[in-house]
């Protein structure tokens, strides 16, 4: 049997539209875990003095923690707004416009994360 085997999926470039869509869903899943976990923590009634522990962290650890919340929140929010726009104006739901908007929300999320972090220092 000398049949040609189709190449493995890894040789293909993953489209930005797929990356953006998956990232929006994963950021929502991550944020759900954070919020549900925080709610369970609050309901437990235990007092771990998280605010004091946060204030004792080194600055780079605070930045990591802040960015781990700000970036996915910003990205997921922008992705949600984009979907609202697509629902209202389906004419924007073309391959080229979706790709451009994907780059835009990724770039805007990355650019605004340090700015938002600075606002809440």
102 in a structural domain: yes
Task: Give me the pLDDT at residue 1, please.
Answer: 60
Question: Is the residue at 9 inside a domain?
Answer: no
Decide if 81 is inside a domain: yes
| CA neighbor of 24 nearest in space, from 94, 63, 65, 71 | 71
CATH of the domain at 48: 1.20.1300.10
Asked if the model's pLDDT at residue 4 lies above 80, the reply is no
C-alpha distance from residue 3 to each of 6, 7, 12, 117 (Å): 9, 12, 21, 56
Give tens-digit pLDDT for 78-110: 999 999 999 999 999 999 999 999 999 999 999
Q: Is position 11 within any domain?
A: no
* More confident: 28 or 5: 28
C-alpha 17/C-alpha 102 separation (Å) is: 6
> What is the extent of the structural domain holding 61?
18-119
């Amino acid at each position: 049997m000398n049949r040609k085997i189709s190449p493995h999926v890894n040789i293909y470039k993953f489209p930005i539209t797929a990356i953006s869509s998956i990232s929006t869903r994963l950021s929502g899943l991550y944020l759900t875990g954070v919020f549900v976990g925080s709610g369970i923590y609050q309901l437990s009634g235990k007092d771990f003095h998280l605010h004091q522990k946060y204030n004792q962290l080194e600055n780079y650890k605070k930045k990591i923690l802040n960015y781990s919340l700000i970036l996915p929140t910003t990205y997921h929010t922008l992705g949600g707004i984009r979907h609202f726009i697509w629902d209202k104006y389906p004419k924007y739901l073309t391959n080229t416009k979706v790709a451009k908007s994907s780059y835009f929300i990724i770039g805007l999320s990355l650019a605004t994360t340090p700015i938002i972090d600075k606002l809440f220092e």
